Structure 1
Amino acid sequence: MSTNTPEERELLRLYKCVVDTGTDVLTAFAKYKLLPTYNGNFKQYLNDKKHELFHLWKSRKLLCCECPPVGCNHKRTGHMPTWIFQKLYDDTGPEERTHIVRNNRTIVQVCLHKYVSRNIAIHELDFSTILFLLRNLGVLSQNETASLDLITTTRSQICQAYSMNSFTMAFLNTTWTKLENALVDLVDPPFKRIIRNDIKQLREADLKKERITELMKNVEEVKLIVSIFKDNALNILLK
């Protein structure tokens, strides 16, 4: 993208809003939804949710040493890509060989102790990882789900715009309004005015050349992540 037209520059401002403001809002929202009983300790949360997250990553047919004798009892609401699981856990833990069960030569049960929670804070996670945790482990209202859907759709549309014609200014203005309302819906009342002011300043900002280059690089990275998610979803449907 050349960023020569007002529409192209506005598109980058929108993307910056989703990446910067959107990630900040999503992180605060995730702390509120996922960590209230863990005193904000994300590592403790990962330790507690490891069994559930493992089965979101691996098939329910593959058991682990924490599964009851009747089999996995966790509802598989989605599929976690390997790269997300590896951001949260490493595989350097003390594996107990007696926890590994084989049927002929096929492993049917693994040792969950092999996977150790990484020392990472929730604010260090990327947009896609936080979104996955919220959608699969968070208890969300219908309005909260709708807001997350709109933010995700906007982010995807902006990235796809770099391989098609730019949107009209009328469409971009409408998208700004919808995105702002969705972000504001996810923050506590005392911070709603702050978020609106931040978005207003961002819409009036003059993006520097270096920042444009950085944003465009980020867009390409997001496009790759989106394509991975689509491929994983297609593979699940074909199984």
Structure 2
Amino acid sequence: MSTNAREAQEFLRLFKCVVDTGADVLVPFTKNKLLTSYNGNFERFLDDKKHELFHLWHSKRLLCCACPPAGCILKRTGHMDNWIFKKMYDDSGYEEGGHITRKNGKVEQLCVHKYVTRNIGIHELDIIALSFLLRNLANLLPNETTALDTIRTNRSMICHAYSTNCFNMALLNKAWSELDTALVDLTDPSYKGVIKKQIKYLRMVELEKEEITELMTNVEEAIKVSVFLKQVLDRPLKHL
């Protein structure tokens, strides 16, 4: 892939903005929306929300041992991808046999204790995972939802690109404009000016050879991960 073309250089700057500035904005935004009552402790949050997240992940409408007798009705704006759940939990926990019920040979209830919270910080999640948690578990204002969707859409477009020069300048400029607005919208008021300056700097900076090499490596890795995840997610999930 050539990095001399204007479009390729602009693509790399945009990639850096989405990955670096996106994390600078979304991690504190998510902490503020989801972790305030947990004193910022993400593991405590995951322990507390395991039942809800389990049902957001599980593709079948099954009960679990944490469900109330009347059944479980949870807000659900989308199905959690397999890799997101496994990033936060592993299946090394003790599974109580008595918590699993079957009727006519068909499983009706699972044991949620099988899934154990991983030792993970919220900063270790990417934009897609953070976005899912926010959309399903946070009370978002309409403009926050719009901004979040804009960031996620542009992140997906950029990180799923098949090369650094597959987009024309018109599309890249549109992405810059959308990201500028969305990222600033989700930034704490006292830091909005800082983020605007950071985005402006990224649009103008002349990338050095070493940074281009590093960004190219990151882009190629993102493309590989995207292809791998697509292959994984195309397979039917097996939770039992």
Q: TM-score, normalised by structure 1?
A: 0.87
Structure 2 partner of 1:134: 134
Structure 1 partner of 2:81: 81
Task: Give the letter for the 2:214 counterpart.
Answer: R
Task: Give the letter for the 1:211 counterpart.
Answer: E
- When the two chains are superposed, the root-mean-square deviation of aligned CA atoms in Å is 2.4
Task: Give the letter for the 1:187 counterpart.
Answer: T
Compare 2-11 and 158-167 and name the one that shifted more: 158-167
Task: Give the letter for the 1:142 counterpart.
Answer: P
Structure 2 partner of 1:104: 104
- CA distance, structure 2, for counterparts of residue 59 and residue 162 of structure 1: 30
Structure 1 partner of 2:34: 34
Counterpart mapping for 1:153-164 below 5 A: 153-162=153-162
**Equivalent residues of 1:67, 1:73 under 8 A apart:** no
Task: Give the letter for the 1:28 counterpart.
Answer: P
1:139-195 Cα offsets, whole Å, 9 max, x none, are 111101111111122122324543697333244233212211110110111111111
- CA distance, structure 1, for counterparts of residue 11 and residue 188 of structure 2: 27
**Equivalent residues of 1:148, 1:182 under 8 A apart:** yes
Alignment partner of 1:215 out of 191, 215, 218: 218
Structure 1 counterpart SS, 2:80: coil
Identity between Structure 1 and Structure 2 (%) = 56
Structure 2 counterpart SS, 1:162: coil
Query: Structure 1 residues 228 and 138, CA, compared in 2 at 3 Å: closer, same or farther?
Result: farther
Structure 2 partner of 1:68: 68
**Equivalent residues of 2:91, 2:115 under 8 A apart:** yes
Give 1:231 shift.
Answer: 4.9
**Equivalent residues of 2:30, 2:130 under 8 A apart:** yes
> Across the two proteins, how many residue pairs are aligned to each other?
234
Structure 2 partner of 1:203: 203
Task: Give the letter for the 2:135 counterpart.
Answer: R
Structure 2 residue runs of 5 or longer lacking an equivalent are: none
Task: Spell out structure 1 runs of 4+ moving beyond 6 A.
Answer: none
- CA distance, structure 1, for counterparts of residue 214 and residue 5 of structure 2: 17
- CA distance, structure 2, for counterparts of residue 180 and residue 164 of structure 1: 21
Structure 1 partner of 2:227: 224
Q: TM-score, normalised by structure 2?
A: 0.87
Give 1:47 shift.
Answer: 0.9
**Equivalent residues of 2:81, 2:233 under 8 A apart:** no
**Equivalent residues of 1:12, 1:215 under 8 A apart:** no
- CA distance, structure 2, for counterparts of residue 228 and residue 80 of structure 1: 16
Structure 1 partner of 2:46: 46
Give 1:77 shift.
Answer: 2.4
Structure 1 partner of 2:15: 15
- CA distance, structure 1, for counterparts of residue 130 and residue 13 of structure 2: 22
**Equivalent residues of 1:60, 1:72 under 8 A apart:** no
